[in-house]
Structure 1
Amino acid sequence: VLALALLVWLRWKAPHPMDYEIQRRENEPPAPRGRLRLSRAFWMYSAFTATTMLGFATFGVISFHIVEANLLPPVLVPVLYAGVMVVDALAALATGWAYDRFGPRVLLALPIVAATVPALAFADTVAAVIAGSLLWGMALGIQESTLRATVADLVDANRRSTAYGIFAAVVGVATAAGGAAAGALYDVSVPLLVAVTIAVQVSAALLLLVFTFHAPILARFRAPSARR
Structure 2
Amino acid sequence: MRSLTWSSFEVDCLSVTRKAYLGILLFGLISLFGDIVYEGARGVLPTYLELLGASAFLVGLVFGLSDALCFGFRLLSGYVADVTRAYWVFMLLGYGLIIALPSIGLASGLWLVIALILTERVGKALRTPARNTLLSVVGESVGAGKTFGLHELLDQVGAISGPLIMALLLRYVKDFNLSFIALYAPYAALALVLFLTYKTLKSFVSESIKQRYKFDKASLKSMPKSLWLYIAAVFANTMGLIHVTLMLYKAYNYFEAWFIPLLYLVVQAVDAGAAPIAGWLYDKIGRKILLVPFAISMMPSILALTGGREALIAAMVFFGLVLGMQESVYRATIADLAPLERRGLAYGLFDSAYGFGFMASGMIFGFIMTTAIPLIGVIYSIILELSALTLLSLSLVIKK
Range class of TM-score, shorter chain: 0.7 to 0.9
What do residues 169-197 of structure 1 show as CA deviations (whole Å, max 9, x unaligned)?
22111111111111112233112111210
Residues 1:66 and 2:257 aligned together: no
What residue in structure 1 maps to residue 385 of structure 2? 201
Choose from 315, 321, 339 the match for 1:138. 321
Q: Give matches, 1:187-198, under 5 Å.
A: 187-188=370-371, 189-198=373-382
1:10 paired residue among 198, 201, 204: 201
Query: Can you list the C-alpha shifts for 1:5-46, whole angstroms capped at 9, x where unaligned?
Result: 1122111333323489xxxxxxxx765532322121111111
Residue 165 of structure 1: how far off its partner (Å): 1.7
Counterpart pick for 1:100 among 283, 287, 306: 283
TM-score, normalized by length of structure 2? 0.49
SS in 1 for 2:241: coil
Match of 2:225 among 18, 30, 40: 40
Matched letter for residue 4 of structure 1: F
What is the one-letter code of the residue matched to 1:213? V
Aligned to 2:303: 120
SS of corresponding position for 1:193: helix
**Closer, same or farther in 2 for the Cα pair 1:31/1:12, shift >3 Å?**
closer
Specify which of 134, 144, 158 is matched with residue 341 of structure 2.
Answer: 158
Q: Which one-letter code corresponds to 2:284 in the other structure?
A: R
Rounded Cα–Cα distance in structure 2 between residues aligned with 1:30 and 1:133: 41
- For the structure 1 residues 198 and 133, does the alpha-carbon distance in structure 2 shift closer, same or farther, using more than 3 Å as the test? same
Separation in 2 of the partners of 1:209 and 1:124? 31
Return the alpha-carbon distance in structure 1 between the equivalents of residues 208 and 365 of structure 2: 41
- Partner residue in 2 for 1:214: 398
Of 221, 228, 242, which aligns to 1:57? 242
Higher helix fraction (1 or 2): 2
1:86 to 259, 269, 273: 269
- Give SS of 1:151's match: helix
Unpaired runs of 5+ residues, structure 2, are 1-191
Read off the aligned partner of 1:93 and give its amino acid letter: P
Listed as ranges, the gaps of 5+ residues in structure 1 are: 21-28, 217-228
> How far is 1:202 from its partner?
0.7
After superposition, the CA RMSD in angstroms is 1.9
* Shift of residue 60, structure 1, vs aligned partner: 1.4
Kept in 1, the 8 Å contact 2:227–2:395? The answer is no
Following superposition of structure 1 onto structure 2, how do residues 161-200 of structure 1 map, counting pairs within 5 Å? 161-188=344-371, 189-200=373-384
Deviation at 1:82, TM superposition (A): 1.0
Cα deviation, 1:69-102, whole Å, max 9, x if unaligned, reads x322222110111121111111111111111111
Distance 1:32 1:54 in 2: 33
Shift in CA distance, 135/54, structure 1 to aligned 2, threshold 3 Å: same
Structure-1 separation of matches of 2:341 and 2:242: 34
Per the TM alignment, residue 135 of structure 1 is displaced from its structure 2 partner at its CA by 0.9
In 2, Cα distance between the equivalents of 1:199 and 1:209? 16
- What is residue 186 of structure 2 aligned with on the other side? none
* 8 Å contact kept, 1:71–1:124: no
Structure 2 SS opposite 1:15: helix
Relative contact order higher in (CA < 8 Å, ≥ 6 apart): 1
Residue 35 of structure 1 aligns to a residue in which SS? helix
Give the 3-state SS of the residue equivalent to 1:14 in structure 2.
Answer: helix
Cα distance change on mapping 1:181 and 1:215 into 2, 3 Å: farther
Matched residue count: 206
Stretch moving more, 160-169 or 196-205: 160-169
